[in-house]
């Protein structure tokens, strides 16, 4: 089968050679792409890309008449680019794709950094919350920006929760006006960056580079529901690993999500969620608990946004979460759960030791429109006895309730 549509990645600022468009009867691209063409074929029609649908309709008319079409795009058009839309409309076997160097690869190259350990997320035409959460959770992120989701918006979100990040704003890559500027999130938020931004790199320079990689991008941990001994905690005041295992299964933390750990204590749930790729805000009222959470996060190589305050008041300044874990069993628990449930997008999981709190917590979840379920967890661990024998040592029973709401459409890497 012939390949009537040639898709040319223009690279970062490079002129489009004549042979790339030779024989084309229709050339489609952004204004700057068309201006970069050294010479258009005589008689070729040009379409400046605006809304995608009319351009695709025009392409279809030419393809139906077996007339050659060239589509010009930035960088590598198969990387968050127009190849997806063309393949869905016309079939991948009808495309001749000629990639250029992506803005992501160029930006990392300019800094002399590898990017096999980077996460790339697009905020172009998508909900920027996924990009923000990835920047909070991962130490090296490239964000493809768009209107309403540029360096200023990204900086404003990170200034509240990850102010120590370094943003590298790469503009007009490959042109004579190319700029790479290192700024803090707060500095990025104060500036008008214009329309020339190619990509924003978000770096957590406090986290040491990892080992040589075999897999690119974010890598999931080999294990979870870690032993209590892997965390600093006070007087065994920590969510036991049996409870944590089921809580994590119901929370479903994933890259691009935001999870709240309310009444965090040692931060074991917060740290586990962060290890699984989610951005996490841990809320803890005890000052020594706050320091313990931070120490546990550092020990496990993750970043957790720690809020020193008492729920529910301390929740008011936080971004809405995808999932919430609530621990504890005081009289205020049902009210806290109610606030969390009304703001959570997907799931709320509550762990409690007191039977008396279960009905009120269930009512709070039901009242917020969640489907509620739960279980009483009782486990006995193998423990040694003198004489080289073993007994079963019972742990304290814990009620785990969870509420889930009907899934909402969420654009991003988590899909």
Q: Is-contact 314 307, C-beta < 8 A?
A: yes
pLDDT in tens, 326-368: 997 788 999 999 999 999 999 999 999 999 999 999 999 999 9
Three-class secondary structure of residue 327 per DSSP? strand
d(CA 286, CA 138): 27
- CATH dotted code for 228-404: 3.40.50.150
pLDDT in tens, 134-154: 999 999 999 999 888 999 999
With CA atoms as reference, report the closest residue to 180 among 206, 209, 151, 158.
Answer: 151
DSSP symbols for 163-200:
TT-EEEEEESTTSTT-EEEEE-HHHHHHS--TT-EEEE
d(CA 139, CA 204): 5
- Give mean pLDDT, residues 152-171: 96
In CATH, which superfamily holds the domain spanning 5-101? Answer: Tetrapyrrole methylase, N-terminal domain (3.40.1010.10)
Query: Quick one: angle between helices 83-90 and 52-64, nearest 10?
Result: 50
Q: Is the pLDDT of residue 193 over 80?
A: yes
Per-residue pLDDT, 410: 44
Residue percentage of the chain with pLDDT more than 90: 76
Domain edges within the chain: 5-101, 104-203, 228-404
pLDDT in tens, 37-73: 878 888 889 999 888 999 999 999 999 999 999 999 9
Type and span of the H or E element at 47: strand 45-48
- Residue located via tokens 């529901």: 225
Which fold, 104-203?
Answer: 3.30.950
Per-residue pLDDT, 13: 62
pLDDT in tens, 230-266: 999 988 789 999 999 999 999 999 999 999 999 999 9
d(CA 239, CA 255): 23
Show the tokens assigned to 396. 């304290």
pTM summary value: 0.89
């Amino acid at each position: 089968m012939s390949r009537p549509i040639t898709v040319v990645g223009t690279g970062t600022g490079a002129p489009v050679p004549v042979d790339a468009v030779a024989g084309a009867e229709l050339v489609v691209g952004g204004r700057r792409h068309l201006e970069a063409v050294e010479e258009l074929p005589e008689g070729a029609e040009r379409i400046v890309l605006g809304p995608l649908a009319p351009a695709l309709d025009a392409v279809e008319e030419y393809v139906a008449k077996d007339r050659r079409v060239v589509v010009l795009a930035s960088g590598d058009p198969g990387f968050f680019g127009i190849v997806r839309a063309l393949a869905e409309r016309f079939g991948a076997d009808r495309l001749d794709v000629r990639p250029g160097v992506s803005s992501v690869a160029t930006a990392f190259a300019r800094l002399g950094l590898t990017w096999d350990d980077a996460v790339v997320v697009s905020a172009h035409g998508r909900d920027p919350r996924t990009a923000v959460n990835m920047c909070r959770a991962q130490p090296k992120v490239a964000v493809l920006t768009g209107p309403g989701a540029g360096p200023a918006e990204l900086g404003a979100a990170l200034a509240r929760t990850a102010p120590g990040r370094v943003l590298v704003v790469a503009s007009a890559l490959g042109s004579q006006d190319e700029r790479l500027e290192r700024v803090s999130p707060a500095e990025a938020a104060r500036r008008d960056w214009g329309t020339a931004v190619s990509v924003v790199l978000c770096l957590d320079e406090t986290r040491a580079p990892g080992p040589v990689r075999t897999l690119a991008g974010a890598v999931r941990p080999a294990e979870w529901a870690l032993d209590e001994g892997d965390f600093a905690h006070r007087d065994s005041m920590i969510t036991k690993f049996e409870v944590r295992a089921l809580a994590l299964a119901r929370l479903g933390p994933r890259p691009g999500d935001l999870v709240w750990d309310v009444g965090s204590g040692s931060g074991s749930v917060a740290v586990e969620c962060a290890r699984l790729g989610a951005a996490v805000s841990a809320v803890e009222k005890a000052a020594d608990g706050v320091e313990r959470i931070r120490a546990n996060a550092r020990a496990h190589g993750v970043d957790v946004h720690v809020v020193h305050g008492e729920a529910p008041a301390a929740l008011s300044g936080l971004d809405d979460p995808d999932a919430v874990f609530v621990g504890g069993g005081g009289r205020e628990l049902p009210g806290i759960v109610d606030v969390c449930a009304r703001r959570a997008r997907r799931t709320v999981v509550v762990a409690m030791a007191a039977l008396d709190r279960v009905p009120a917590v269930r009512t709070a979840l039901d009242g917020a429109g969640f489907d509620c379920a739960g279980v009483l967890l009782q486990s006995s661990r193998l423990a040694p006895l003198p004489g080289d024998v073993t007994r079963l040592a019972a742990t304290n029973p814990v009620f785990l309730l969870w509420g889930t709401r009907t899934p909402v459409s969420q654009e991003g890497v988590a899909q």
